[in-house]
Amino acid sequence: MKAIEQIAAQLQGYDPNALQADTALAFLHNLVTPCSESRLVDLKDSLGCILAEDLISPIHVPPHDNSAMDGFAFAGEQIKNGAPLELSVVGTALAGKAWTGSVGRGQCVKIMTGAVMPTGLDTVVPQELVKQLGANIVIAPDILQQGDNRRFKGEDLMQGKPALTAGTRIGPAALGLVASLGIAKLKVYRRLRVAFFSTGDEILSLGEVLREGAVYDSNRYTLFGLLNGLGVEVIDMGVVRDDPASLELAFQNAAQAADAIITSGGVSVGEADHTKAVMRKLAGDGKGVAFWKIAMRPGRPMAVGHIGKAVLFGLPGNPVAVMVTFLAFVRPTLLRMMGCTTSTAPLLNARSAEFIRKKPGRTEYQRGLVTRAADGTLTVATTGQQGSGVLSSMVQANGLIVLAHDQSDVLAGQEVAVMMFDGVI
């Protein structure tokens, strides 16, 4: 793991008191290294894991030319432009059972979806497009071309070629793809262990009686959901009081048990609690931790570094700021640690449904609801109040409107970038 000073020296314009969002992400990219520990697991247990080596296909998929739909298979060279084609049906080819008869000119075979294409046949006409005349069918002119509705051997995957590459995150589609190869186990990187806790004397756990000046802890439950969606092993350490001894013990236990530690609260400028002091102490006289003021909204304060071998993420205390900083910085960093080769969430463009006020000089993440307009274009509107403590507007949103550092006010109808929650949260 690189030292904080080494990374900072390599980044142009690095200023922990006025850090741009893209510089913060580059810093985190350099702070961590991808996992190298791998293990062989059952296919179902690989969901959410990262593939540790290229997966070479042992077979062709599909293993033979087959029909893409229910219909009638025949030699497509018989198709003549502008003329109907009449064929006699001489047999039936079922899926899972090859038809071995011979098919001559002027003949066809009734065929089911997935059935092996009989020798010499290369075209399938869907059954709903033919007219039946006793034992014959008639295909209307100009509705079909030679080769239509046939799946080729190896069309999906070729034997001996990579089916999946190392660094791929295993999702539902990848599970099905691997299963289609007859493979029951995968070599994946081990799951990261991530410990998290909330800090502060004002934070109440669920079940405690609400008292004046206190709030129930929502951040741990938000982080629990975000981390579970990422496929890591979560270690919930509860609420830690604002006491040096308690905080030090919590950080030490977390560093021994986990690859990464996430806290919420206690990293703002001028905080009266002890979180920052304990972080500095355990990180090695302050050299292993950096306290940032990121030019962003929401989520300006953040701490990063390492305690022992564990990577540290000290997030703000406000609920929405926790989610935004996690999505913008923590999630892509954890994915990199997991060994994933694609760690940043893709952005899509949508047309703003309203005027959005924006000051240049900071990156803003506004909660937005993306819908499709009558003309088919994507539009996005902000949801409710945008304060960093208003979690209800995050619930109403399906994405974050990402307004770049140098961007100014957005006019209604202007395109903006959106980080969609689907597949991320």
**Confidence class of residue 286 from pLDDT cuts 50, 70 and 90?**
low
Statement to judge: residues 317 and 194 lie in one domain: yes
Helix (H) or strand (E) run with residue 176 in it? helix 172-180
Residue pair 264/271 in contact by the 8 Å Cβ criterion: no
269 has pLDDT over 80: no
Statement to judge: residues 165 and 113 lie in one domain: no
Give domain status of residue 387, yes or no.
Answer: yes
CATH of the domain at 166: 3.90.105.10
Q: CB neighbours (10 Å) of residue 281?
A: 17
Give the span between the Cα atoms of 92 and 88, in whole angstroms: 12
Helix (H) or strand (E) run with residue 244 in it? helix 244-257
Boundary-marking domain end, from 306, 338, 370: 338
Statement to judge: residues 74 and 95 lie in one domain: yes
User: How do beta strands 301-307 and 310-315 pair?
Assistant: antiparallel
The DSSP letter of residue 226 is H
Give domain status of residue 146, yes or no.
Answer: yes
Statement to judge: residues 230 and 330 lie in one domain: yes
Closest to 321 measured CA to CA, from 365, 354, 255? 365
Statement to judge: residues 237 and 99 lie in one domain: no
Give domain status of residue 77, yes or no.
Answer: yes
Statement to judge: residues 210 and 325 lie in one domain: yes
425 has pLDDT over 60: no
* CB proximity list for 200: less than 8 A, separation 6 or greater: 239, 241, 242, 265, 266, 273, 317
Q: How many domains does the chain have?
A: 4
Give the span between the Cα atoms of 13 and 207, in whole angstroms: 47
Q: Which of 183-197, 211-225, 229-243, 373-387 has the highest mean pLDDT?
A: 183-197
Stated pTM of the model: 0.88
CATH of the domain at 243: 3.40.980.10
Reading the block at residue 217, the tokens are: 């802890």
Statement to judge: residues 170 and 289 lie in one domain: no
Tens digit of pLDDT for each residue in 76-89?
Answer: 999 998 999 999 99
Closest to 314 measured CA to CA, from 255, 263, 259? 263
Statement to judge: residues 175 and 296 lie in one domain: no
Identify the weakest region by mean pLDDT among 31-40, 90-99, 168-177, 264-273.
Answer: 264-273
Give the span between the Cα atoms of 144 and 79, in whole angstroms: 8
Give domain status of residue 425, yes or no.
Answer: no
The C-alpha angle with vertex 421 and arms to 415 and 425, in degrees rounded to 5, equals 160
Among residues of the chain, what percentage have pLDDT more than 70? 97
Backbone angles phi, psi at 229, to 5 degrees: -65, -20
Statement to judge: residues 235 and 219 lie in one domain: yes
Give the span between the Cα atoms of 257 and 251, in whole angstroms: 10
Give domain status of residue 297, yes or no.
Answer: yes
Closest to 255 measured CA to CA, from 192, 337, 310? 310
Per-residue pLDDT averaged across 228-244, rounded? 93
The DSSP letter of residue 63 is S
Which residues on neighbouring strands pair with residue 233, listed in sequence order? 193
Boundary-marking domain end, from 287, 318, 338: 338
Statement to judge: residues 267 and 399 lie in one domain: no
Give domain status of residue 274, yes or no.
Answer: yes
Statement to judge: residues 325 and 209 lie in one domain: yes
CATH of the domain at 85: 2.170.190.11
Give domain status of residue 313, yes or no.
Answer: yes
What pLDDT score does 45 carry?
A: 97
Give the span between the Cα atoms of 176 and 188, in whole angstroms: 16
Residue pair 65/76 in contact by the 8 Å Cβ criterion: no
Statement to judge: residues 173 and 130 lie in one domain: no
Per-residue pLDDT averaged across 330-359, rounded? 93
Backbone angles phi, psi at 91, to 5 degrees: 175, 180
Give the span between the Cα atoms of 7 and 192, in whole angstroms: 23
CATH of the domain at 409: 2.40.340.10
Structural domain harbouring 253:
4-37+190-338
Give domain status of residue 279, yes or no.
Answer: yes
What pLDDT score does 390 carry?
A: 87
What pLDDT score does 98 carry?
A: 83
Give the span between the Cα atoms of 250 and 236, in whole angstroms: 11
Boundary-marking domain end, from 338, 373, 394: 338
DSSP string, 131-145: EEETTEEEEPTTS--
Reading the block at residue 185, the tokens are: 């186990």
